[in-house]
Structure 1
Amino acid sequence: MSLPRTATTFAPPVMEARRWLDGVRFTEERPLINVSQAAPVAPPPEALRRRIAELAMDLPEAHLYGPVLGLPELRAEVAAQFSTAYGGAIAPGQVAITSGCNQAFATAMMTLAGEGDEVILPTPWYFNHKMWLDMQGLRAVPLATGAGLLPDPGAAEALITPRSRAIVLVTPNNPGGVEYPAATVAGFAALARRHGLLLVIDETYRDFDSRDGAPHDLFADPDWADHLIQLYSFSKAYRLTGHRVGAMIASQSRLAQAERFLDTVTICPNQLGQHAALWGMRHLGDWLAGERREILDRRATISDQLPKIAARGWELMGVGAYFAYLRHPFDIASDDLARRLVREAHVLTLPGTMFMPEGSRDGGRQMRIAFANVDRAGIAALFDRLAAFAP
């Protein structure tokens, strides 16, 4: 008897990590420092919450089914703003709104691959990407990254087989934090075009990229839709995590296929969340710029605090957006280390084993720090605890 699809992959890592807190007593003097999850823990800004409340009371259609591919005004706003930001041409009909970016990824995979096909994922990978591929019956082909956690198009080309359907990039990267150079992204786009593959580029954290201007020029290619799918999340930009609003930008023919999947799964995205995202895009530009500055300041704090643990043998492999990715110096697997850090240092983080193929020795030496919800003082305390930890 064959296994159900949900039994073919691993348990949700964030939920597993939270179970490590069971039975551990934290104190006022030594509270838990939680750097396990990247999602914002604060609610949306007050102005946006008030707008959501107004919509809930005054817009009856916000409580009803809407178009499967999303609110037309939001699709048009994404197309207009992203066309300007990337110096390209994106039409509203090339934008679909989804119930979060994870659903955008699942939708993209459903439109481009079938049972037994292959998708190339750079490692360390975003675990939910791997989980979905497992549950769809697709083979995730790991692409080891080089110095600075950067993937190489040449190394990816060596992995392409007749079953290859797509290459996935996440930039700024989760879990590594690394911002992929425009030349690297362009190299992967050329590779995908040359081999008839899709380049799926997840830019969930684009609003917190440290670089000014467009991070790549893929949309400047008039034929971009032939080989490119972009994914985006409104959750991080406007703290709308509970409303589940994401986006998928692709060809209109691909979105026609996506509509079949989305109609079956959710019928339509969250209506209140879509209106909130639209209002945020039109009114919260300055506020979002301030959020970006705060994240960049916390990123700088990571670098400032690094000497405390570098002296103990820790190594910073990548940093950016919401994440710092570290190599630890201990003769202990990172998953065991993560459990001990909860009990002995009152720090909850995720081990590299959750972002790498099963049995990976590299994953056993790596840790992810999600610092977006920890201020300067909290980051300093985190590094003090890591520096003092001795297994």
Structure 2
Amino acid sequence: MTQSRTAATFAPPVMEARRWLEGVAHPANRPLLNVSQAAPVDPPPAPLREAMAQIVLNDAEAHLYGPVLGLPALRTEVAAQWTASYGGKVASGQVAITSGCNQAFAAAIASLCSEGDEVIIPVPYYFNHRMWLDMSGVTTVPLLAADGMIPDPAEAARLITSRTRAIALVSPNNPCGVEYPAQTLRAFRDLARAHGIALIVDETYRDFDSRNGAPHDLFTNPDWDDTLIQLYSFSKAYRLTGHRVGAVVASRARLAEIEKFLDTVTICPNQLAQRAALWGMRNLGDWLAGERLEILDRRAAIEDNFPLLAGKGWELLGCGAYFAYVKHPFAMSSAELAPLLVKEAGVLLLPGTMFMPSDLPGGESQLRIAFANIDRTGIKTLFNRLSSLER
């Protein structure tokens, strides 16, 4: 008897980690530090919530079906801002709105792959990407990250076969936080183009990149859409995680295929969420710039305080966007260590084994810290707790 599509992959890691909290009490003087999920827990800023309330009350179209590929005004706004920020031409017809960035990835893969095809993804990987490939009957081909947790295009070239349909990258990276250099992304684009495959670049965390200006020049190539598929999330930028709104930027021909997927899954993206994202893009530029500076300060706090852990044998493998990716010094797998940290340190984080195939080494010594919801003080508290561990 064949197994179902969902049985082909593992349980959702974040949900699994939450089960570690069951039956564990956290005293008032040591409340739980939850650094397991890369999502803001605060609601959207008050002006955006007020705008959303007015939309609910006064915009009748917000309660009806809309275009499958998204609100035309939002597609146009994305195209205009991307053209301005990346220095290349993006048209509204090359933009589609999706129900979150995970759906953007799923739609892109559905439009590219059939049973038994292959997609190359760097490891450590974003686990939901692996899960979708598993459930799609697509083989994940792992590309071990090289120095600085940056993937090597030359190594990727050795993995390409006649069944390869895409290379999928995340920058700034989840789980490692590192920002891929522009020349690295350019080299991957050239590699993909030479082999006639797609380059998917998930830029969910682009708004929190530490570099000023465009992080890459991929859109400046007039033929960018023959290879590049870019994914984006409004959720992190405007705290709209519960409203599920993302985007995919690709060729018109690719979006015509993606439209088939979206029409059968959600019919149209959430109408309130799209209008909220549009309002945010038009009105919250200064606010978002302040959010970026706060995240960059937390990144600096990780680096400033890390010597406390380094003195105990820890290593900082990557840091940026919402994440710090670390190597622990203990003689046990991170799969065992992470649940223990809930009980012994009041810390919930994810083990590196959740970001690696089980047959590859490395994940057992690694941990991911998502610091979107802890400030400088919280980061210092976190490191004090981790540094006090003795095993």
State yes or no: 1:216 paired with 2:207.
no
What is the identity, as a one-letter code, of the residue corresponding to 1:280?
A: G
Q: Find the counterpart in structure 1 of residue 92 from structure 2.
A: 92
Q: In structure 1, how many angstroms separate the alpha carbons of the residues matched to 2:309 and 2:360? A: 24
Output one character per residue of 1:35-75: Cα deviation in whole Å (capped at 9) or x when no partner: 00011100000000000000000001101100000000000
> 1:263-274, aligned counterparts within 5 Å?
263-274=263-274
Residue ranges of structure 1 left out of the alignment (5+ in a row):
none
Q: Find the counterpart in structure 2 of residue 151 from structure 1.
A: 151
Q: Find the counterpart in structure 2 of residue 44 from structure 1.
A: 44
Conserved 8 A contact 1:118-1:164: yes
Deviation (angstroms), 1:342: 0.5
Q: Find the counterpart in structure 2 of residue 285 from structure 1.
A: 285
- Deviating more after overlay: 38-47 vs 358-367: 358-367
Q: Find the counterpart in structure 2 of residue 191 from structure 1.
A: 191
Q: In structure 2, how many angstroms separate the alpha carbons of the residues matched to 1:260 and 1:189? A: 26
Q: In structure 2, how many angstroms separate the alpha carbons of the residues matched to 1:243 and 1:30? A: 32
Q: Find the counterpart in structure 1 of residue 237 from structure 2.
A: 237
Q: In structure 1, how many angstroms separate the alpha carbons of the residues matched to 2:3 and 2:90? A: 41
Give the secondary structure class of the aligned counterpart of 1:141.
strand
Q: In structure 2, how many angstroms separate the alpha carbons of the residues matched to 1:301 and 1:223? A: 41
What is the identity, as a one-letter code, of the residue corresponding to 1:169?
A: L
Q: Find the counterpart in structure 2 of residue 309 from structure 1.
A: 309
Q: TM-score with structure 1 length normalisation?
A: 1.00
Deviation (angstroms), 1:282: 0.3
Conserved 8 A contact 1:322-1:372: yes
Q: Find the counterpart in structure 1 of residue 320 from structure 2.
A: 320
Give the secondary structure class of the aligned counterpart of 2:2.
coil
Deviation (angstroms), 1:153: 0.4
Runs of 4+ that moved beyond 4 A: none
Q: In structure 1, how many angstroms separate the alpha carbons of the residues matched to 2:304 and 2:360? A: 30
State yes or no: 1:248 paired with 2:209.
no
Deviation (angstroms), 1:307: 0.7
Q: In structure 2, how many angstroms separate the alpha carbons of the residues matched to 1:358 and 1:132? A: 17
Q: Find the counterpart in structure 2 of residue 380 from structure 1.
A: 380
Deviation (angstroms), 1:390: 1.3
Q: In structure 2, how many angstroms separate the alpha carbons of the residues matched to 1:390 and 1:357? A: 28
> 1:93-242, aligned counterparts within 5 Å?
93-242=93-242
Q: In structure 2, how many angstroms separate the alpha carbons of the residues matched to 1:389 and 1:236? A: 32
State yes or no: 1:262 paired with 2:262.
yes
Q: In structure 2, how many angstroms separate the alpha carbons of the residues matched to 1:322 and 1:343? A: 24
Q: In structure 2, how many angstroms separate the alpha carbons of the residues matched to 1:153 and 1:59? A: 48
Conserved 8 A contact 1:353-1:360: no
Give the secondary structure class of the aligned counterpart of 2:306.
helix
Q: Find the counterpart in structure 1 of residue 4 from structure 2.
A: 4
What is the identity, as a one-letter code, of the residue corresponding to 2:209?
A: D
Q: Find the counterpart in structure 1 of residue 23 from structure 2.
A: 23
Deviation (angstroms), 1:111: 0.5
Output one character per residue of 1:75-131: Cα deviation in whole Å (capped at 9) or x when no partner: 000000001110001110000000000000000000111100000000000000000
Q: In structure 2, how many angstroms separate the alpha carbons of the residues matched to 1:220 and 1:115? A: 34
Q: In structure 2, how many angstroms separate the alpha carbons of the residues matched to 1:349 and 1:274? A: 31
Conserved 8 A contact 1:21-1:342: yes
Q: In structure 1, how many angstroms separate the alpha carbons of the residues matched to 2:81 and 2:105? A: 21
Give the secondary structure class of the aligned counterpart of 2:106.
helix
Q: In structure 1, how many angstroms separate the alpha carbons of the residues matched to 2:12 and 2:57? A: 36
Give the secondary structure class of the aligned counterpart of 1:324.
strand
The number of aligned residues is 391
Q: Find the counterpart in structure 1 of residue 53 from structure 2.
A: 53
What is the identity, as a one-letter code, of the residue corresponding to 1:42?
A: D
Q: In structure 1, how many angstroms separate the alpha carbons of the residues matched to 2:258 and 2:168? A: 18
Deviation (angstroms), 1:359: 3.6
Deviation (angstroms), 1:27: 1.1
Conserved 8 A contact 1:306-1:383: yes
Q: TM-score with structure 2 length normalisation?
A: 1.00
What is the identity, as a one-letter code, of the residue corresponding to 1:28?
A: A
Output one character per residue of 1:1-47: Cα deviation in whole Å (capped at 9) or x when no partner: 11110000000000000000001000110100000001110000000
Give the secondary structure class of the aligned counterpart of 2:159.
coil
Deviation (angstroms), 1:203: 0.1
Deviation (angstroms), 1:358: 1.1
Deviation (angstroms), 1:360: 2.9
Conserved 8 A contact 1:295-1:322: yes
Q: In structure 1, how many angstroms separate the alpha carbons of the residues matched to 2:372 and 2:254? A: 34
